[in-house]
C-alpha cells in the first residue's frame, strides 16, 4: 500500500472515531510504529489531526478542507436523512442552487424523480450525478477547480451565479454559531455561497448535528439570512429558541 493511500484511510478512521492509536494502526497496516508516526506527522502538518501521546485526535478547528472522498463518508447517515427532508421541499419546475458540499450530492441523488428542474451548481460531483437526468437544465457555474474538493470557485463562479435568479438555494457549511453565524473554511468557498444566497428567493442551510456550536475561519452570513435549517436530529433548546426568535423554520426527522 502506498503511503498516500494509507494516510487517506487513517484520515477516514480519525474522522469516524475521533482518535487513532499508533500501536493499533501499526498492527492494522503491518508497518512499523515509526512509519505510522511519520504518517501522523504529515496529517498534523496539513492541519487534519493533532498529535497526542501514543496517537492523534481529530482537529476540530475546521479551518482545513478535507478531501471530498473523506467528507463523503463523514456522517453519511445524517446526510441521507437531510436529503430525504429536502426532497419534499423541491417542487417540479423549480430553479435551484446546489453548492459543492457532500450533502448536496445526497440531495442530487434523491431528487431525480422531479420534473423540469433547473439546477445551477459549482460542484463537479453534482454535474456527474445529474448527467443522466433528462428534461432538466443543468448549469455549471464554471470557475477554478479546487484540488481535492470537486468544487469550482473564484470570480468566474461568483459572476456566473449572479446572472441567475433561483427559487431556492441548498447549501452547507463548516460551522454554525448563534453569535458568529454561518461559517466556512476559506474565503473563496464562502464567497460562492454568499452569491448563491443573494441570488435565491429562499435559503436552506443543510447542516448535520456535528456542525452546531462550531466556528470556522470565514463568515458566510448571519443566521438572519437563513430561511430554513435542515438537520439530522432536533437541535437543543437554545437553538430552537434562537430559530423561533429569528423566524427560521427548522426541519429534522420527527421519529428521532
77 by Cβ neighbours in 10 Å (0-12 / 13-18 / 19+) ranks as: exposed
Phi first, then psi, for residue 138 (nearest 5°) are: -110, 120
CATH number of the domain residue 43 falls in: 1.10.10.10
pLDDT, tens only, 3-59: 888 888 888 788 777 789 999 999 999 999 999 999 999 888 877 788 888 998 877
Query: Are both 46 and 91 inside the same structural domain?
Result: no
Q: Does residue 64 sit within a domain? A: no
Query: Are both 46 and 77 inside the same structural domain?
Result: no
User: Which strands sit side by side in the sheet containing 19-21, from one edge to the other?
Assistant: 19-21, 55-58, 49-52
Query: Are both 79 and 49 inside the same structural domain?
Result: no
Owning domain of residue 109: 69-251
* Beta strand residue intervals within 99-136, DSSP E: 118-121
Q: Which residues contact 239 (CB under 8 A, 6 or more apart)?
A: 178, 212, 250
Q: pLDDT-derived band of residue 75, with 50, 70 and 90 as boundaries?
A: low
Query: Are both 135 and 48 inside the same structural domain?
Result: no
Query: Are both 74 and 54 inside the same structural domain?
Result: no
Query: Are both 9 and 135 inside the same structural domain?
Result: no
pLDDT, tens only, 139-188: 999 999 987 678 999 999 999 999 999 999 999 999 999 999 999 988 99
Parallel, antiparallel, or unpaired for β 55-58 and 19-21? antiparallel
Give the whole-angstrom CA distance, residue 102 versus residue 12.
15
Q: Which three cell numbers stand for residue 5?
A: 493511500
Question: Residue 256: is its pLDDT beyond 70?
Answer: no
Amino acid at each position: 500500500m502506498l503511503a498516500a493511500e494509507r494516510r487517506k484511510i487513517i484520515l477516514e478512521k480519525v474522522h469516524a472515531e475521533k482518535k487513532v492509536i499508533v500501536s493499533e494502526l501499526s498492527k492494522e497496516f503491518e508497518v512499523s510504529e515509526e512509519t505510522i508516526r511519520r504518517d501522523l506527522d504529515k496529517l498534523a502538518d496539513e492541519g487534519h489531526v493533532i498529535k497526542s501521546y501514543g496517537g492523534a485526535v481529530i482537529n476540530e478547528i475546521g479551518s482545513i478542507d478535507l478531501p471530498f472522498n473523506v467528507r463523503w463518508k463523514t456522517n453519511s447517515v445524517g446526510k441521507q436523512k437531510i436529503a430525504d427532508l429536502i426532497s419534499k421541499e423541491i417542487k417540479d419546475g423549480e430553479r435551484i442552487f446546489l453548492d459543492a458540499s457532500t450533502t448536496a450530492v445526497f440531495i442530487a441523488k434523491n431528487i431525480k424523480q422531479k420534473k423540469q428542474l433547473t439546477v445551477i451548481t459549482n460542484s463537479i460531483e453534482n454535474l456527474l450525478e445529474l448527467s443522466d437526468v433528462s428534461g432538466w437544465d443543468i448549469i455549471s457555474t464554471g470557475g477554478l477547480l479546487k484540488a481535492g474538493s470537486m468544487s469550482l470557485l473564484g470570480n468566474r463562479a461568483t459572476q456566473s451565479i449572479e446572472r441567475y435568479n433561483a427559487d431556492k438555494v441548498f447549501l452547507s457549511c463548516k460551522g454554525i454559531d448563534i453569535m458568529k453565524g454561518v461559517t466556512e473554511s476559506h474565503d473563496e468557498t464562502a464567497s460562492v455561497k454568499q452569491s448563491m444566497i443573494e441570488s435565491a428567493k429562499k435559503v436552506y442551510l443543510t447542516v448535520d448535528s456535528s456542525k452546531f456550536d462550531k466556528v470556522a475561519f470565514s463568515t458566510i452570513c448571519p443566521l438572519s439570512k437563513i430561511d430554513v435549517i435542515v438537520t439530522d436530529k432536533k437541535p437543543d433548546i437554545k437553538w430552537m429558541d434562537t430559530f423561533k426568535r429569528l423566524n427560521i423554520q427548522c426541519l429534522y426527522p420527527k421519529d428521532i
